[in-house]
Amino acid sequence: MTLERDAAAQVAKVLSEALPYIRRFVGKTLVIKYGGNAMESEELKQGFARDIVLMKAVGINPVVVHGGGPQIGDLLKRLSIESHFIDGMRVTDTATMDVVEMVLGGQVNKSIVNLINQHGGSAIGLTGKDACLIRAKKLTVSRQTPEMTQPEIIDIGHVGEVIGVNTELLNMLVKGNFIPVIAPIGVGPDGESYNINADLVAGKVAEALKAEKLMLLTNIAGLMNKQGEVLTGLTTEQVNDLIADGTIYGGMLPKIKCALEAVQGGVTSSHIIDGRVPNAVLLEIFTDIGNGTMISNRKRP
């Protein structure tokens, strides 16, 4: 009985400590990019769904944007369609785009919606095509080497970038106590489909909604310095310095730039979060400890 009472007391203590954070974020919109290990481990998937439902239950407004690269790759392999990447982006011809829409807009999106709803939420799945939610244009990729007189334009097919977000639709769903779950597929001016990086979509959605937080779930502990230590709180100036001195490079660079642009575009703070940690989202929102790297517009100390 004593053990049960101690466990109950610990739960009460945790809830009490979370109260100031709940008050701070009630009515605020948080955009969460969901992907990586957090979307593949059964335990982490269940935990993520519970976290999202809890956020909505206490008056916070989560908007979820998800990835699905590994699932797309698996189906393409089964269909004997070869995958090609340029600068980390999947070359998306018409056949590949059909698979992308099938996997992201169907399989992955509906599984996340179903999981959230099973835990008591009211999630609604969307792609950028619904009510022109994510307006897009073709992404132009160019390369130039010292011996070239002008850049080479590379056609990577139906890969796009965001040019507009239908905030009216998202605000209507949020006010109706629904949880939007967005697949990163955009629609062009002539109705064509575009495959868009999920981090980029999440950042642009957060900017358009003037969200309190943009949270990008990753498979790393956070942004690290050259000594391998996680950098917890950074200003936009400090991030630019880390890019300039080469601390931020390679595959982390697009993610950090996305987080940086969101803050510069009006989001209060961006967070690079370790999605491999159980309850990663709640740790970042409701505790002082946090769970990764925060980027904000506060001035350099």
* Share of residues in the chain with pLDDT > 70 (%): 85
Q: Does 228 fall in a domain?
A: yes
- What are the two backbone dihedrals, phi and then psi, of residue 9, each rounded to the nearest 5 degrees? -65, -35
CATH number for the domain that contains residue 204: 3.40.1160.10
Cβ atoms of residues 223 and 230 within 8 Å: yes
Binding residues: 68-69, 90, 195
Report how far residue 26's alpha carbon sits from residue 56's, in angstroms, rounded to the nearest whole number.
9
Report how far residue 51's alpha carbon sits from residue 131's, in angstroms, rounded to the nearest whole number.
28
How does DSSP assign 89-114, residue by residue?
Answer: EE-B-HHHHHHHIIIIIIIIHHHHHH
CA dihedral 99, 102, 107, 113 (to 10 degrees): 130
Q: Does 67 fall in a domain?
A: yes
- Condensed to tens digits (0 to 9), the pLDDT of residues 9-61 reads 565 666 667 777 788 888 999 999 998 777 778 888 998 999 999 999 989 99
Tell how far CA 63 is from the center of its chain.
9
Q: Does 14 fall in a domain?
A: no
CB atoms within 10 A of CB 128: 29
Confidence of residue 116 (pLDDT cuts 50, 70, 90): very high
Q: Does 32 fall in a domain?
A: yes
> What confidence score (pLDDT) does residue 133 get?
96
Q: Does 104 fall in a domain?
A: yes
Binding residues for substrate: 68-69, 90, 195
Q: In whole angstroms, how far apart are CA 190 and each of 91, 96, 129, 136, 138?
A: 21, 19, 12, 10, 12
- Condensed to tens digits (0 to 9), the pLDDT of residues 227-266 reads 767 777 777 777 777 777 777 766 677 788 888 889 988 9
Q: Does 21 fall in a domain?
A: no
Number of domains in the chain: 1
Q: Does 235 fall in a domain?
A: yes
Which is more confidently placed, 8 or 56? 56
Task: Give residue 197's domain range.
Answer: 27-296
Map residue 149 onto helix, strand or coil. coil
Q: Does 17 fall in a domain?
A: no
